[in-house]
Structure 1
Amino acid sequence: MSMITPSSRSRGGPNKGGTRRNENNRIYANPLPVFFAEPPPSRIRSVLGLLGLSLTEVVNPHCEGVFDSTTRSVWVSNPKDTILLWRRGFFGKGDLSRSEPSWLARQINNRRTGGKQMTSEEVTAKRRAERKQFKLDRAAAIAAVAAEAESIFETEGRVIKPALSGPAIPSAATWRPAPSLSEPPAPSSPEDEEVDATELDPLVDVEHLQLTLQEAFFLSWNLDCLTILDPHTNEAMSLKQLWTACQVAHLPPTIPANLNPPLQFDSPFLINYVIYHHYRSLGWVVKGGIKFCIDYLLYKRGPVFTHAEFALVVCPVYEDIEDQKTSSLDLQNSSPFAWSWLSTINRVNSQVQKTLILVYVTIPARSRLSLENLDSPACLQHYSVREVTLRRFIPARMRD
Structure 2
Amino acid sequence: MSLITPSSKAKRSFGGKGGGRRFENNKIYGNPLPLLFVDPPSTRLNSVLGLLGLSLTRVENPHCEGIFDPITRSVWITNMDHCMTLWRRGFFGKGDLSRSEPSWLARQMNLRKSAGKQLTSEEVTARRRAERKQFKLDRAAAIAAVAEEAEQIFEKEGKVTVPALSGPAIPSAATWKPSQPIRPETPITPAEVDIPDPLDEEPLENVEHMQLTLQEAFFLLWNLDCLTVLHPDTLEPMSLKDLWIAFQRAHLPIEIEAPQPLRFDNPFLINYAVYHHYRSLGWVVKGGIKFCVDYLLYKRGPVFSHAEFAMVVLPVYEDPGDQEDAPSNLQNATPFAWSWLSTINRVNSQVQKTLVLVYVTIPSRKRVSATVLESPACFTQYSVREVILRRFIPARMRD
Deviations 1:19-62 (A, max 9, x none): 30000000001000012111222111101111111011111110
Q: What are the within-5 Å matches in structure 2 for residues 21-170 of structure 1?
A: 21-170=22-171
2:75 is paired with a residue whose SS is: strand
Corresponding residue of 1:6: none
1:379 is paired with a residue whose SS is: helix
Structure 1 portions without partners, runs of 5+: 1-14, 183-191
Q: CA, structure 1 residues 162+205, in 2 after alignment: closer, same or farther (shift >3 Å)? A: same
Structure 2 counterpart of 1:240, one-letter code: K
1:30 is paired with a residue whose SS is: coil
In 1, the alpha carbon distance for the partners of 2:152 and 2:275 equals 62
1:344 is paired with a residue whose SS is: helix
1:352 aligns with 2:351: yes
In 1, the alpha carbon distance for the partners of 2:150 and 2:203 equals 60
In 1, the alpha carbon distance for the partners of 2:130 and 2:39 equals 47
Corresponding residue of 1:213: 214
2:393 is paired with a residue whose SS is: coil
Q: Higher relative contact order by CA 8 Å / sep ≥ 6: 1 or 2?
A: 2
In 2, the alpha carbon distance for the partners of 1:325 and 1:254 equals 19
1:180 is paired with a residue whose SS is: coil
Corresponding residue of 1:302: 301
- State the shift of 1:201 in Å: 1.8
- State the shift of 1:16 in Å: 11
- State the shift of 1:149 in Å: 1.3
Contact 2:18 2:303 in 1 (8 A): no
1:74 is paired with a residue whose SS is: strand
Corresponding residue of 2:176: 175
- State the shift of 1:399 in Å: 2.5
Corresponding residue of 1:330: 329
In the superposition, the TM-score normalised over structure 2's length comes to 0.91
Structure 1 counterpart of 2:89, one-letter code: R
In 1, the alpha carbon distance for the partners of 2:219 and 2:343 equals 32
In the superposition, the TM-score normalised over structure 1's length comes to 0.91
- State the shift of 1:351 in Å: 1.2
Structure 2 counterpart of 1:31, one-letter code: P
1:149 is paired with a residue whose SS is: helix
2:385 is paired with a residue whose SS is: strand
- State the shift of 1:163 in Å: 0.9
Corresponding residue of 1:265: 264
- State the shift of 1:17 in Å: 5.3
In 1, the alpha carbon distance for the partners of 2:59 and 2:179 equals 53
In 1, the alpha carbon distance for the partners of 2:155 and 2:202 equals 65
Identity %: 73
Corresponding residue of 1:185: none
- State the shift of 1:198 in Å: 1.4
Contact 2:17 2:303 in 1 (8 A): no
- State the shift of 1:371 in Å: 2.2
Contact 2:34 2:90 in 1 (8 A): yes
Structure 2 counterpart of 1:275, one-letter code: V
Deviations 1:99-146 (A, max 9, x none): 111111110111111222211101100110110000000011111111
1:117 is paired with a residue whose SS is: coil
Deviations 1:253-282 (A, max 9, x none): 233x322x5421100000000000000000
In 2, the alpha carbon distance for the partners of 1:247 and 1:17 equals 39
Corresponding residue of 1:315: 314
Contact 1:248 1:262 in 2 (8 A): no
- State the shift of 1:395 in Å: 2.2
Corresponding residue of 2:3: none
Deviations 1:162-196 (A, max 9, x none): 111111110011101233128xxxxxxxxx97x52
1:19 aligns with 2:3: no
In 2, the alpha carbon distance for the partners of 1:306 and 1:16 equals 5
Structure 2 portions without partners, runs of 5+: 1-15, 184-193
Q: CA, structure 1 residues 280+291, in 2 after alignment: closer, same or farther (shift >3 Å)? A: same
- State the shift of 1:345 in Å: 1.1
Contact 2:17 2:304 in 1 (8 A): no
In 1, the alpha carbon distance for the partners of 2:47 and 2:397 equals 55
Structure 1 counterpart of 2:270, one-letter code: I
Corresponding residue of 1:379: 378
Corresponding residue of 1:367: 366
In 2, the alpha carbon distance for the partners of 1:364 and 1:17 equals 44
Contact 1:33 1:60 in 2 (8 A): yes
- State the shift of 1:375 in Å: 1.3
1:81 is paired with a residue whose SS is: helix
How many residues of Structure 1 are paired with residues of Structure 2 in the alignment? 375
- State the shift of 1:244 in Å: 0.5
- State the shift of 1:18 in Å: 4.6
Query: C-alpha root-mean-square deviation of aligned residues, in Å?
Result: 1.7
